[in-house]
Structure 1
Amino acid sequence: MTDFSFAMLPGIDQEELLWLQELTKDYNEDNKRKFMALYQGRRKDPQTVLICCLVGLVCFAGIHRFILNQIGMGILYFFTGGLCIVGTIVDAVNHRKLAWEYNKVAAMEAAALIKQY
């Protein structure tokens, strides 16, 4: 498995690609495959976050926060109408940052699981 296999992930940007390569540089091929399988299952695509955020503008506000496992913020957005729509618009603009923060945590969890074995 080459380092370019991470490039096949949907919506991946250069920063995330380089970070994943650095995180897995000491892994053998088998561990890289395991990491890729774990990370791919947990990773959230930035476009999915954006679409859910935009759906929140017209119906269920905060759905993107539920998808990112931010349950408390999701409930807050739901009951306040996306913090009076302003919070939802800010999240739509910052959707890549929200996805990157979630994906970084997911990668660290997957790396910790690989190191346990």
Structure 2
Amino acid sequence: MNTHYDPYMTFSDITTEEMMFLQQATNGLSERQKQYFYMVYSGKRRSPQEILIYTLLGFVLINGVQRFVTGQTVMGLLYLFTGGFCLIGTIIDLVNHRSLATEYNQKMAYESFQITKMAVQE
């Protein structure tokens, strides 16, 4: 990777907080490891718009889709069986969709980092 080119800028709707987190997470990696990390992380990352769309699906089709997508299976089932906590939980998720995406992406960055350290030995 070129030191002047930041591949994370290609992510749609990346926040400054996420950018700083990713740069800090990959600080000790070699260039080859950073490339592998980027490849793994880009496949796992969810943009806030995706979470917003999944949350809006809760109003129309199935409640809790946003929770299933972010790996929160138990909360997804609760939303599904309670109608999104009578739509109150769905409305809260609608307002907090960015924080849901940030929390999920940080978990995926940690997971991607672990995968990279095991897969690419330097």
Q: TM-score range by the shorter chain?
A: over 0.9
Code of the residue aligned with 2:10 in structure 1: it is M
What's the counterpart of residue 35 of structure 1? 37
Inter-partner Cα distance in structure 1 for 2:71 and 2:21: 22
Shift >4 Å, 4+ stretches: none
Taking CA–CA contacts closer than 8 Å with sequence separation of 6 or more, which of the two structures ends up with the larger relative contact order? Answer: 2
After superposition, where does 1:1-117 map in structure 2 within 5 Å? 1=1, 2=3, 4-116=6-118, 117=120
Could you report, residue by residue, the CA deviation over 1:32-76 in whole angstroms, capped at 9, with x for unpaired residues?
Answer: 110000000111111000011011012211011111111111111
Report how far residue 26 of structure 1 moved: 1.8
What percentage of residue pairs aligned between the two structures are identical?
43
Task: For 1:68 and 1:20, locate their aligned partners in 2 and report how far apart those are by CA, in whole Å.
Answer: 18
Query: Residue 25 of structure 1 aligns to a residue in which SS?
Result: coil
How many residue pairs align between the two structures? 117
CA offsets, 1:49-107, max 9 Å, x none? 00110110122110111111111111110111100000000001000100111110110
- SS of residue matched to 2:6: helix
Q: Which amino acid aligns with 2:60?
A: V
Q: Normalised by the size of structure 2, how large is the TM-score?
A: 0.91
Q: Distance in 2 between matches of 1:55 and 1:80?
A: 15
Q: Distance in 2 between matches of 1:4 and 1:34?
A: 14
For structure 1, the residue ranges without an aligned partner over 5 or more in a row are none
> Gapped runs of 5+ residues in structure 2?
none
- After superposition, the CA RMSD in angstroms is 1.1
